[in-house]
Chain A
Amino acid sequence: AQSVTQLDSHVSVSEGTPVLLRCNYSSSYSPSLFWYVQHPNKGLQLLLKYTSAATLVKGINGFEAEFKKSETSFHLTKPSAHMSDAAEYFCVVTVSGGYNKLIFGAGTRLAVHP
């Protein structure tokens, strides 16, 4: 069965400093992994996705994530945080490697301080 664990419920950084949001997954198959961002009372926006191509995935707004099979991890990083990055971030894995059901992590709330 597929599952995803976001290791931090809250992350707080200063503007201009690096961001690291951690995600570990469990999958019986080759997984497809995603990071989504959600601003308050809004829908979800895709940041980036891994679908068995390059292990280092670059997304929008300067975010990137690296798929590490040996560590079953898919951590999200950004070199320099911006105030507008403050939001909820979800790591997501698909069921059975397809695009039907999405299994969401619990979410990580990112706070960015001036």
Chain B
Amino acid sequence: GAVVSQHPSWVICKSGTSVKIECRSLDFQATTMFWYRQFPKQSLMLMATSNEGSKATYEQGVEKDKFLINHASLTLSTLTVTSAHPEDSSFYICSANGPTATEAFFGQGTRLTVV
């Protein structure tokens, strides 16, 4: 099946700094990617829909200035957590619809810890 690669798999950063997470579709083009956040022992919550060449669509309650999304190419979307704080610590997962749009493929996830 199609492969989505997410990098890094884990990151620790200091409070106030910014962190960039990459999501790549390795063997297909993804015009749309999705970013989710998952708190411990909870489900995935959609943060935003990333569209290649246009602005991301954010879900209600998600700060677009804090979670910057860039989808500059058909195979790469990035999520930048700006001025990170400890409450931003979470597991972030991206997904992309496969080439036939019949299935969503997920990255491995990124564990962000802000200290």
Contact = CB atoms under 8 A, between A and B. Distances in A.
Most chain-B CB neighbours within 10 Å: which of A34, A36, A90, A104?
A: A104
Interface residues of B, number: 25
B104 interface: yes
B108 A43 contact: yes
Contacts of A7: none
Contact of A90 (B43, B46, B107): B43
Contact of B106 (A43, A49, A51, A101): A43
Given A43-B109, A107-B42, A101 B103 contact: no
User: Looking at chain B's contact residues, is the secondary structure mostly helix, strand, loop, or mixed?
Assistant: strand
Interface size class of A (residues with CB under 8 A): 20 to 34
Contacts of A41: 91, 109, 111
Contacts, number: 52
A107 B41 CA distance: 9
Interface in A57-114: 90, 99-102, 104-107, 109
Nearest to A44: B106
Nearest to B105: A46
A104 B108 contact: no
B93 A44 contact: yes
A102 B111 contact: no
Interface of B: 4, 6, 32, 34, 41-46, 49, 91, 93, 95, 97, 101-109, 111
Interface of A: 34, 36, 41-46, 49, 51, 90, 99-102, 104-107, 109
